Amino acid sequence: MDFTYDDEQTALRDAVRGLVGKAYADYEQRRRATREDPGFDEKLWTQMAEMGLLGLPFSEDDGGVGAGPVEIGIVCRELGRVLAPEPYLSSVVLAGGLVSAVGTPEQRQELLGALSGGESVLAFAHDEPGHRWGAEAHDVTADGSGALTGTKDGVLHGARADVLVVSAVLPEGGTGLFLVAGDALASVERSGYPTYDGGRAARITFDATPATPLGASAADVTASIATVQDITRIMAANEALGAMQTQLGATTEYLKSRKQFGVTLNTFQALTFRAADMYTSLELTHSMVDWATMVVAAGGPAQVADAAARAGLQVSRAGRHVGQEAIQLHGGIAMTAEYNVGTFTAHLTALDHLLGDAGHHLRTLDATLGDHGVIDPLDRTATQ
Amino acid sequence: MQLALTEDDQAFREEMRTFFTTEFPEEIRRTVEEGRELTREQIVESQQALNAAGLAVPHWPEEWGGRGWSELKRHIWHEEMQAASVPVPLAFNASMIGPVIAQFGTQEQKEKFLPRTANLDIWWSQGFSEPDAGSDLASLRTTAVLDGDDWIVNGQKTWTTLGQYGDWIFTLVRTDPEVKKQAGISMLLIDMTTPGVEVRPIELIDGGHEVNEVWFTDVRVPGENLVGEVNSGWTQAKFLLGNERVGVAPVGATKRVLARAKELGAATLADDPLLRARVVELENELLALELTALRVAAHSAGAEPHPASSVLKLKGTELQQAVSELVVDLGGPATLASGEGDATLDWYRRSTPTYLNLRKASIYGGSNEIQRQIISRNILGL
C-alpha cells in the first residue's frame, strides 16, 4: 500500500510538466492552439512522441515503451492540469488501447509504431446518434465482406485521424472492430466540428465503406471494448483530477487577490467555506483516482470495471461540484473565454459525458450491489 | 504506487482480524453489531480485554504501553476493530488525556495515571466546553485560584459525555483573567469524588442520558494535579484536539452499519431502485473516505500530518450521519419506536434515536464549520 510515485515516476511527471505544462503555462497558448484545425499543436505532439509519451502504454515489440497505468495516469493528469488539447486520451489510450488489445501482431506493430512515433493519429468511431454509453455498436453494421454502413458521431479528432477504429454490428450479431484508412478513409464523409471545450469531434458516415477487421478476422470483441473503455474512464479521471487541481488553485488565488467592498474576497466566510468544500471533494477524488489507477495495474477486467465505475461516479460528482463552484467563486470573469477557469469547467463537462456520467455509473454499480457486504479496497487482485 | 499491503502488513491485518473476531468477548461484539447501548461494565471489560492484549493504547509512547507501529498499522488496527464490532478504546482515556499526560505530565503524574488510564481503572471525563464556550473554547470562564498549594475551582462545564461514569475529569480552567484569553488557561485533573463536584444529567432528543453538566463549587484541587505549566493549558488543549480529530472518522464502523442495513433491508431494497441508488452513493463515498484515510496513513512521515487528514472528520461524520438517515428511511413507519422498554431488539426500533443522536457528530470534536475554517485557513491559505 503506497500512494507515492517512485523516483522514475516523479521524473516522468516533471518531464511532462516541463514539456506540456510549459507549452500551455500561458493560457493564451491553449486558446491559440485550439482556434484553428486540427485543434492541437502538431509540433508539440511530435515532441511528446520524441519524449516517448505516445508509446507509453504499448509493448516494446509493438514500438512502444511498455509502461504501466500509473505512468499513463501521470501523463493524463499533467495534460489535465493545463487543459492540453492534444488527443492523448482519444488516440493513445482509447483507440491505441483497442489496437493493442485486439489487433494482430502485424497490425499492432504497424499502427502502434506509427502512433508512438507521432506519425499517425488514431480515432475510435463508436458513439452513434440516439444511443448513450456502452461497449456495443447499434446501427452501424458490417456486411459479410467487412464493408461498413451507418453513422457515427462525437468521434474525437475523427476528422484529423489518419486511421479510424470503427465498431460495427456483425452479420451474426455482436460487435466487431474494423480499421478504415488510406483510400477507404478518403471516401468516407467526415464532418468535423469544434466541441464546446475547444476540442474537435466529427460526424462520420459510412456507405458500404471497405474496412479491414481489427484482429485476424471479424469477431465479437465487446468484452475487449468494455475493458479498454474502463481503462480510458480511469485515465479520463486522472485528466479530470489534474483539471480540478488547477481550478482550485486558481480559485484560492483569486479569492486572495480580488477586492470588493475594499477588502479581498477571502474576508468572506460564505466564500472560503465553499472553497473548503471544493478541497474536500478534490482530496476524496484524488484518493479514488489513485486507487483506481492502481487497480488497473493489479486487477483483472472485473476489478477494473468496478474501479472505473467507482472512480467515474466520484469524478462526475466532484467535477460538477468543483467546476461549478470555481466559476461562481470567481464571478463574471470566469464566464469569459479569455480566462481559463470557465473552459476547465467546460472540459470537465465533456469528460463527464465521454464514457458515462454519474447516473450511468450508478446503474453499473447497482447491478453488483448485492455481491458484497463491505467493500475491501485492498483486495483487488485478478485472482479474487 | 502499490495497491497491495506488504507481507508484513498483510500478516498484521490477519493477526488483528483473528484476535478481534475470535478472542474478544462475543457478547460485547453482538451488542455493538445490533446497535444496542453498552453498559459501563461492558465498556470497561472491552478496554481491559484490549489492554491485556496490548491493543488499547498502541499509539502511546512505548514505555507506557505503545507499540511503535507505523501509521498504516495503526489505521489497520483501528479499521479491523470497527469491522469486527469491537468498541474502540474510550476516547477520553486513550485518545485525549493519555497522550497529553504522556507528553506534558510529570513523572509522578505519568506513573500515577497512565497505567490505570490505559486499563480504564480510571474513567476520564472531559471538562472543556461551557455554556458560553463551545466552538470558542478559549472564552471559558471556570476559574481556578491558588490557595496555598491548592487550586480552588468554581464554574460550570457542560456536554460532559458519560460524565455519570467518570472517576476523574480533565479540565481547562482560567488561571489568569487579565491576559489574552488563550494565555490565561491551565489544565487541571480533578477527582470527581471531591466535595463540590456535582454531575447533573442532560436529557437529549434521542431520549437518552449521554451528556451532563458538571458544576464546581469551591472544589479544592492539589497543586500536583496541574498538567504542564500554569497558563499553558491552551497548548495542551490544541495538542489534545489535534489528536481527537484523527480518531473521529469512523470509517470501519459506518461501513459495517451500511452493510448490515443492506442485509436487514434486503427485501425493501430489492423493490426500491431509489433507495438502492442511495446505498451505492454512500458505499462509494465511504470508499473515497477510506482511501483518503489510507493515503494519509501510508504517507505520514514525521510530525506533520498529511493535509488531506483535515477532511477525515468533516466527511467521516457527514457519512456517519447519512448512513443513519438511510437506515431510518429503510425502516419506514416501523422506526417510530423510541427504543425504550423494548425487548424485541429489532434493528429498526433503535434506528431513529441513533439518527437523532448522531446529529452530534458534526458538532463535537471541532464542529464541521471549524473544520472548514481549518481547511480554508491552514491548507488553502485563505
- Interchain proximity A291–B9, CB inside 8 Å: no
Q: What is the ipTM of this complex?
A: 0.97
| Residue B307: predicted pLDDT | 79
- Interchain proximity A314–B284, CB inside 8 Å: yes
Residues of chain A with pLDDT under 70: 382-384
A228 and A367 in one domain?
Answer: yes
Question: For residues A5 and B295, what is the distance between their CA atoms, to the nearest angstrom?
Answer: 12
**Does any domain span residue A308?**
yes
Kindly report, residue by residue over B88-99, the tens digit of the pLDDT.
999 999 999 999
- Choosing from A116, A139, A156, the residue where a domain stops is A116
Residues of chain B with pLDDT under 50: none
- Interchain proximity B2–A284, CB inside 8 Å: no
Instruction: Enumerate the residues of chain B whose CB falls inside 8 A of the CB of residue A374.
Output: 83, 255-256, 258-259
Known catalytic residue at B63: no
A272 and A365 in one domain?
Answer: yes
A295 and A194 in one domain?
Answer: no
| Residue B247: predicted pLDDT | 58
**Which chain A residue has its CA at the smallest distance from B72's CA?**
A1
A197 and A105 in one domain?
Answer: no
Instruction: Enumerate the residues of chain A whose CB falls inside 8 A of the CB of residue B256.
Output: 374
Question: For residues B64 and A81, what is the distance between their CA atoms, to the nearest angstrom?
Answer: 48
- Interchain proximity B256–A377, CB inside 8 Å: no
- Choosing from A183, A213, A243, the residue where a domain stops is A213
Every domain of chain B and the residues it spans: 7-89, 124-231, 248-379
Closest partner CB to A375 (pick from B5, B287, B314): B287
- Interchain proximity A3–B1, CB inside 8 Å: yes
Percent of chain B with pLDDT strictly greater than 70: 96
Write the CATH number for A29.
1.10.540.10
A352 and A250 in one domain?
Answer: yes
**Does any domain span residue A382?**
no
Of B79, B130, B244, B290, catalytic: B244
Kindly report, residue by residue over B289-312, the tens digit of the pLDDT.
999 999 988 876 655 677 787 899
Q: What CATH number is given for B248-379 in this structure?
A: 1.20.140.10
Question: For residues A215 and A197, what is the distance between their CA atoms, to the nearest angstrom?
Answer: 34
List the domain range (segments joined by +) for residue A28. 7-116
**Which chain A residue has its CA at the smallest distance from B254's CA?**
A374
Write the CATH number for A285.
1.20.140.10
Closest partner CB to B376 (pick from A1, A275, A294): A275
For domain B124-231, is the CATH number 3.40.430.10?
Answer: no
A300 and A273 in one domain?
Answer: yes
- Interchain proximity B280–A377, CB inside 8 Å: no
A11 and A81 in one domain?
Answer: yes
**How many domains does chain A contain in total?**
3
A54 and A17 in one domain?
Answer: yes
Question: For residues B3 and B263, what is the distance between their CA atoms, to the nearest angstrom?
Answer: 29
Burial class (CB in 10 A: 0-12, 13-18, 19+), B213: middle
A263 and A171 in one domain?
Answer: no
Kindly report, residue by residue over A171-212, the tens digit of the pLDDT.
999 999 999 999 999 999 999 999 999 999 999 999 999 999
Question: For residues B352 and B333, what is the distance between their CA atoms, to the nearest angstrom?
Answer: 11
- Choosing from A83, A116, A149, the residue where a domain stops is A116
Residues contacting residue B63 through CB under 8 Å, at least 6 positions apart: none
Question: A369 vs A197, A309, B275, B278, CA distance in Å?
Answer: 35, 12, 12, 11
Closest partner CB to A1 (pick from B2, B289, B369): B2
**Does any domain span residue A376?**
no
**Does any domain span residue A306?**
yes
| Residue B304: predicted pLDDT | 67
Q: Which of A135, A154, A133, A152 is CA-nearest to residue A316? A: A133
Instruction: Enumerate the residues of chain A whose CB falls inside 8 A of the CB of residue B289.
Output: 284
Write the CATH number for A164.
2.40.110.10
User: How do strand B185-191 and strand B143-147 relate by DSSP bridges?
Assistant: unpaired
Fold of the B7-89 domain: Butyryl-Coa Dehydrogenase, subunit A; domain 1 (1.10.540)
Question: How many inter-chain contacts (A to B, CB under 8 Å) are there?
Answer: 146
Q: Which of A180, A134, A128, A172 is CA-nearest to residue A150? A: A128
Question: For residues B268 and B279, what is the distance between their CA atoms, to the nearest angstrom?
Answer: 12
- Interchain proximity A375–B286, CB inside 8 Å: yes
Question: For residues A53 and A67, what is the distance between their CA atoms, to the nearest angstrom?
Answer: 10
A345 and A243 in one domain?
Answer: yes
| Residue A294: predicted pLDDT | 97
